[in-house]
């Protein structure tokens, strides 16, 4: 006779549907208990002892079922939010602070009436490293998962990232601001839009959509999954992590269906939703799984949508900012995978509106040149054993790219002459006595990425010269020069790294500077193995730097060596 609990009859789909139905029943039961508790508290004849006993029974019932606690997380937040909005909407404009104690959580909520709107600030007792815009998206996902009304408008404001929490909470909280119309007209409720900004370091993607539209559900699921994943890590809650995985799987399935539907209908509005959902999934991979491979796979979906829409779709400033952000985040993976990108084509570089665009920073003029290097890498890898003439022609192309990089560096120095950088004493000792302290984050990011592009270019020159030296002795001096240049600029890249991680914790460009660091580290490994150079100090410093970087919560692209 078989042992254990018998398996539910039916197919896998039927069993999955039964599990979903069970979760819905748990949520309904939790809501019913909340309503009963609110009704009992509103009756004046109810005694405090009865309310306390009823609340204790709710806590005991929640502790008895972990699945109920997981499924009711968003409902608990939204119920508290809804109750506060009802009781405080007629108060004065004096800020009010309410502290709500939930099981194992403490949420600080502040409301302030400004004109015809009420501004809410929520402080969550866990850390989200992506900034206020991403936490706004989390809260929007929580609200829209359980509250069909009112429609929320999520706005991002750098000044809202101030610490408004009490000292008893996490010392590094993240706050968010949500604007709610006081009394929206009934005939315009259906047309209300939700605006979500997903901020990934220097890349901010904005999207506005109807909150309850079918296509937006996958974005809400992806954001909610990311939020639950982060909370589960902070609370070490495996059950909540499993719930997040289930929601993430649902979001991915809807994302795949959305791509199929987009191929048939070519809806531009759906394309923005798909792009934002893919970006949210990629961030989950990075934050939760610490996986750059998973991050880049989801990022390919964003790039496919941009490429399919074509350069003519970059008519609005929002679309252009999205293009710039994707470009700045995607380029390291072109170098890592040695694969060219559509971003290196002329139609994606020579855009008529770029000359006067305020977002056309030096990093993007650098990428106009640098993105051709991965294309040359791909060409080299796909054509092994080429004749000397073909190798010389490719070396000529790389020489032209090196001259363009030199001109870009001269232009940068001319634009920021004496105030570009200074030197400070190094705190990451072992390789340099001083480090470069830049005057501006834009200059720091652009110049540091320049060092990585230059090292990668001369790494390819070194490979071509190695193949050519047996047939052409003139390639030997070029080989020595490329080795010296690679070593020189790898050291400079490491000298720039400390500015991003050992100084201001909010400095921009941390992700982009991982590419020069990875390129320098791999160069030190290659010079030590193939050219018998003593790279022990460099390799030891890179290993220690990688440990310091990972201690901030950001994984390096790859651990190249261990000593």
Contact yes or no for 253/217 (Cβ under 8 A)? no
Residue 41: the pLDDT is 64
Among residues 309, 324, 346, the one where a domain terminates is 309
Residue 27: the pLDDT is 78
For the chain, what is the domain count? 2
Answer yes or no: do 347 and 259 share one domain.
no
Residue 102: the pLDDT is 36
Contact yes or no for 513/500 (Cβ under 8 A)? yes
62 within domain boundaries: no
> Whole-model pTM?
0.64
Among residues 292, 309, 326, the one where a domain terminates is 309
Answer yes or no: do 81 and 148 share one domain.
yes
Query: End-to-end distance of the chain based on CA atoms, in angstroms?
Result: 57
Residue 7: the pLDDT is 57
Answer yes or no: do 263 and 384 share one domain.
no
The residues, any chain, with a CB within 8 Å of residue 251's CB and separated by 6 or more, are: 218, 219, 221, 222, 225, 277, 280, 281
Mean pLDDT by 10 residues, the chain (563 residues): 54 78 80 75 50 42 39 36 34 37 42 50 41 47 41 32 26 29 37 52 52 66 78 78 83 84 76 79 77 85 87 86 86 93 93 85 92 95 90 95 95 77 83 85 89 96 93 92 95 91 68 92 94 92 93 88 85
Please state, in angstroms and rounded to a whole number, the distance separating the CA atoms of residues 196 and 422.
39
- DSSP symbol at 5: P
Answer yes or no: do 289 and 421 share one domain.
no
Residue 498: the pLDDT is 87
Answer yes or no: do 432 and 386 share one domain.
yes
Beta bridge partners of 108: 99, 123
104 within domain boundaries: yes
Answer yes or no: do 486 and 539 share one domain.
yes
Answer yes or no: do 223 and 359 share one domain.
no
- Select from 387, 516, 559, 549 the least CA-distant residue to 464: 387
478 within domain boundaries: yes
563 within domain boundaries: no
Please state, in angstroms and rounded to a whole number, the distance separating the CA atoms of residues 114 and 418.
45
Answer yes or no: do 387 and 474 share one domain.
yes
Please state, in angstroms and rounded to a whole number, the distance separating the CA atoms of residues 197 and 320.
15
Residue 499: the pLDDT is 87
262 within domain boundaries: yes
Backbone angles phi, psi at 152, to 5 degrees: -100, 145
* Range 173-195 burial, b when 16+ CB lie within 10 A, else e: bbbbbbebbeeeeeeeeeebebb
1 within domain boundaries: no
560 within domain boundaries: no
Contact yes or no for 358/424 (Cβ under 8 A)? no
Answer yes or no: do 249 and 368 share one domain.
no
Answer yes or no: do 301 and 375 share one domain.
no
Print the domain residue range for 85. Answer: 74-309
Instruction: Write out the two tokens for 22.
Output: 């069970």
83 within domain boundaries: yes
Answer yes or no: do 174 and 297 share one domain.
yes
Answer yes or no: do 175 and 253 share one domain.
yes
Residue 157: the pLDDT is 33
Among residues 288, 309, 330, the one where a domain terminates is 309
Angle (CA) 548 552 557, round 5° = 70
């Amino acid at each position: 006779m078989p042992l254990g609990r018998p398996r539910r009859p039916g197919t896998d789909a039927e069993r999955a549907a039964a599990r979903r139905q069970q979760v819905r029943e748990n949520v309904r039961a939790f809501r019913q208990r909340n309503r009963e508790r609110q009704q009992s508290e509103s009756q004046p004849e109810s005694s405090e002892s009865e309310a306390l006993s009823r609340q204790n029974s709710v806590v005991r019932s929640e502790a008895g079922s972990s699945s109920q606690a997981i499924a009711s997380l968003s409902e608990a937040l939204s119920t508290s939010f809804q109750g506060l909005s009802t009781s405080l909407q007629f108060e004065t404009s004096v800020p009010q602070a309410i502290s709500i104690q939930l099981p194992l959580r403490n949420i600080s909520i502040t409301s302030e009436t400004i004109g015809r709107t009420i501004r809410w600030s929520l402080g969550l007792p866990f850390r989200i490293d992506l900034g206020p815009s991403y936490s706004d998206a989390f809260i929007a996902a929580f609200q829209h998962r359980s509250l069909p009304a009112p429609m929320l408008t999520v706005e991002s404001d750098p000044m809202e990232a101030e610490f408004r929490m009490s000292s008893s909470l996490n010392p590094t909280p993240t706050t968010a601001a949500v604007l709610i119309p006081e009394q929206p007209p009934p005939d315009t409720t259906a047309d209300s839009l939700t605006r979500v900004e997903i901020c990934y370091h220097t890349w901010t993607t904005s999207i506005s959509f109807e909150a309850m539209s079918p296509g937006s559900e996958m974005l809400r699921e992806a954001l909610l999954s990311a939020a639950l994943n982060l909370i589960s890590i902070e609370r070490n809650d495996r059950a909540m992590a499993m719930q997040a995985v289930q929601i993430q799987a649902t979001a991915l399935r809807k994302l795949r269906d959305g791509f199929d539907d987009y191929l048939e209908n070519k809806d531009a509005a759906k394309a923005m939703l798909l792009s934002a959902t893919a970006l949210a999934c990629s961030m989950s991979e990075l934050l939760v799984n610490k996986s750059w491979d998973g991050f880049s796979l989801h990022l390919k979906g964003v790039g496919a949508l941009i490429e399919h829409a074509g350069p003519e779709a970059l008519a609005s400033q929002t679309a252009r900012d999205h293009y710039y952000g994707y470009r700045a985040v995607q380029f390291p993976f072109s170098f890592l995978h040695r694969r060219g990108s559509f971003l290196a084509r002329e139609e994606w570089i020579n855009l008529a509106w770029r000359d006067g665009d305020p977002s056309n920073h030096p990093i993007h003029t650098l990428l106009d040149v640098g993105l051709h290097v991965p294309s040359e890498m791909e060409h080299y890898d796909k054509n092994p054993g080429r004749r000397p003439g073909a190798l010389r022609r490719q070396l000529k192309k790389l020489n032209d790219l090196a001259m363009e990089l030199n001109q870009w560096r001269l232009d940068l120095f001319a634009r920021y002459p004496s105030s570009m950088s200074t030197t400070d004493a190094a705190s990451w000792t072992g390789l340099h006595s001083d480090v470069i302290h830049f005057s501006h984050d834009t200059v720091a990011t652009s110049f540091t990425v320049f060092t990585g592009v230059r090292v990668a270019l001369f790494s390819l020159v070194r490979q071509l010269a190695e193949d050519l030296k047996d047939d052409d002795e003139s390639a030997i001096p070029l080989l020595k020069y490329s080795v010296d240049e690679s070593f020189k600029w790898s050291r400079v890249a490491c000298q720039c790294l400390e500015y991003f991680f050992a100084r201001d914790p909010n400095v921009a460009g941390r992700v982009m500077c991982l590419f020069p660091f990875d390129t320098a580290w791999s160069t030190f490994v290659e010079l030590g193995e193939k050219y018998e150079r003593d790279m022990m100090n460099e390799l030891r410093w890179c290993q220690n730097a990688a440990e310091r970087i990972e201690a901030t919560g950001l994984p390096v692209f790859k651990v190249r060596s261990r000593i």
